[in-house]
């Protein structure tokens, strides 16, 4: 498990351009102790730090900085855009570790450092962004760290106890029923990349989770971590989730750095 490092987080929101919050929607990873033991898995972490252009419509300014501890990276596919993104400087260039976008009727967050997810969650109104409501009902599935709020034994900031952990996979009652999922929960957090190192089998719930966001206006956070041999099952499921939204995971292990989100974000909460 990686050694705990001090996480420095700064947060500021400006009050210039605003849009009212929409009403209710119609609806990890520990690694080796020595970071140097994990080397780049191959591909360079994406193109240069070309940030998403400010949107034409209303948005709110967001400024967030989170210290990351080894990350994977995302590529934005040709013909797609994201609403906001954050990079870290890596040996091979810029690694995109955070992406936010409107997707169909809902909202998507993709984050490539599960170790610092709890810190990011507390530093910014991620829950209200995903759910587009003041008091969202949020559940998590996937790896027990950090999706399970009871996972504090790992020694890293985890998700708040207000988030309900549903287990490693989506419960049977929600299989092939995205409407039921949206009735019960405003946003879902999927955490991957740790348990699959031990060759656990993942159920493919990409169809349900995609429909949950696109058709039912809910929120989805897809959270991965740096790539290790054997992590493919979680990465494959995440790719099936993110691909239709125009994102592709890059199987890399980036170093320690600070990810900075400095954007005017559509639908960002006050």
Domain ranges, ordered by start, for the chain = 10-265
Cis bond upstream, residue 179 (ω within 30)? no
The residue with tokens 């125009």 is 246
Q: How far is CA 199 from CA 14, 98, 137, 230, 237, in A?
A: 45, 26, 31, 7, 14
- Between 149 and 153, where is the model more confident? 149
Mean pLDDT, range 142-151, rounded to an integer: 73
Confidence of residue 102 (pLDDT cuts 50, 70, 90): very high
Alpha-carbon distance of 109 to 130, in angstroms, equals 8
Contact 195, 169 (CB under 8 A): no
Contact 71, 234 (CB under 8 A): no
CB neighbourhood size of 199 (10 A): 9
Give the per-residue pLDDT at 228: 65
Give the per-residue pLDDT at 176: 92
Confidence of residue 10 (pLDDT cuts 50, 70, 90): very low
Contact 263, 54 (CB under 8 A): yes
Give the per-residue pLDDT at 188: 97
- Between 155 and 39, where is the model more confident? 155
**Is the per-residue pLDDT at 22 higher than 50?**
no
Give the per-residue pLDDT at 187: 98
Tokens at residue 217, please?
A: 């206006």
Give the per-residue pLDDT at 107: 98
Q: What is the pLDDT of residues 167-180, one digit of tens each?
A: 888 999 999 999 99
- Phi, psi for 30 (deg, rounded to 5): -90, 155
pTM for this predicted structure: 0.79
Task: Give ∠ CA 177-180-184 in degrees, rounded to 5.
Answer: 145
Average pLDDT along the chain: 76
- As beta bridge partners, residue 11 has 64
- As beta bridge partners, residue 87 has 96, 260
Dmax over CA atoms of the chain, in Å, equals 49
Q: What is the pLDDT of residues 119-145, one digit of tens each?
A: 899 999 999 999 999 999 999 998 777
Give the per-residue pLDDT at 210: 96
Cβ contacts of residue 232 below 8 Å, gap of 6+? 196
The residue with tokens 């450092």 is 113
Give the per-residue pLDDT at 200: 55
Give the per-residue pLDDT at 227: 73
Q: Helices in 200-245 by DSSP H: which ranges?
A: 206-214, 232-242
DSSP class of 72: -
Alpha-carbon distance of 201 to 169, in angstroms, equals 10
- Between 153 and 222, where is the model more confident? 222
Alpha-carbon distance of 177 to 225, in angstroms, equals 28
């Amino acid at each position: 498990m990686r050694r705990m490092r001090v996480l420095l987080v700064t947060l500021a929101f400006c009050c210039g351009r605003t849009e009212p919050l929409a009403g209710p929607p119609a609806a990890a990873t520990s690694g080796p102790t020595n970071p140097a033991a994990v080397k780049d898995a191959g591909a360079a972490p994406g193109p240069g730090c070309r940030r998403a252009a400010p949107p034409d419509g209303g948005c709110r300014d967001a400024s967030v900085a989170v210290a990351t501890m080894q990350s994977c990276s995302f590529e934005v596919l040709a013909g797609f855009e994201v609403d906001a993104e954050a990079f870290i400087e890596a040996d091979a260039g810029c690694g995109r570790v955070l992406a936010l976008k409107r997707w169909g009727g809902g909202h998507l967050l993709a984050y490539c450092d599960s170790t610092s997810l709890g810190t990011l969650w507390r530093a910014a109104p991620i829950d209200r962004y995903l759910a587009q409501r003041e008091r969202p009902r949020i559940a998590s599935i996937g790896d027990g760290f950090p999706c399970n709020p009871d996972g504090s034994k790992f020694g890293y900031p985890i998700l708040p106890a207000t988030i309900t952990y549903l287990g490693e996979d989506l419960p049977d009652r929600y299989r092939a029923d995205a409407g039921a999922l949206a009735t019960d929960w405003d946003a879902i957090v999927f955490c991957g990349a740790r348990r699959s190192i031990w060759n656990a089998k993942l159920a493919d719930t990409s169809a349900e989770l995609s429909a949950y966001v696109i058709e039912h206006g809910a929120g989805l956070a897809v959270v991965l971590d740096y790539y290790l041999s054997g992590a493919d099952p979680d990465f494959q499921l995440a790719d099936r989730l993110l691909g239709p939204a125009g994102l592709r995971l890059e199987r890399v292990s980036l170093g320690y750095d600070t990810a900075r989100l400095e954007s005017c974000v559509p639908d960002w909460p006050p």
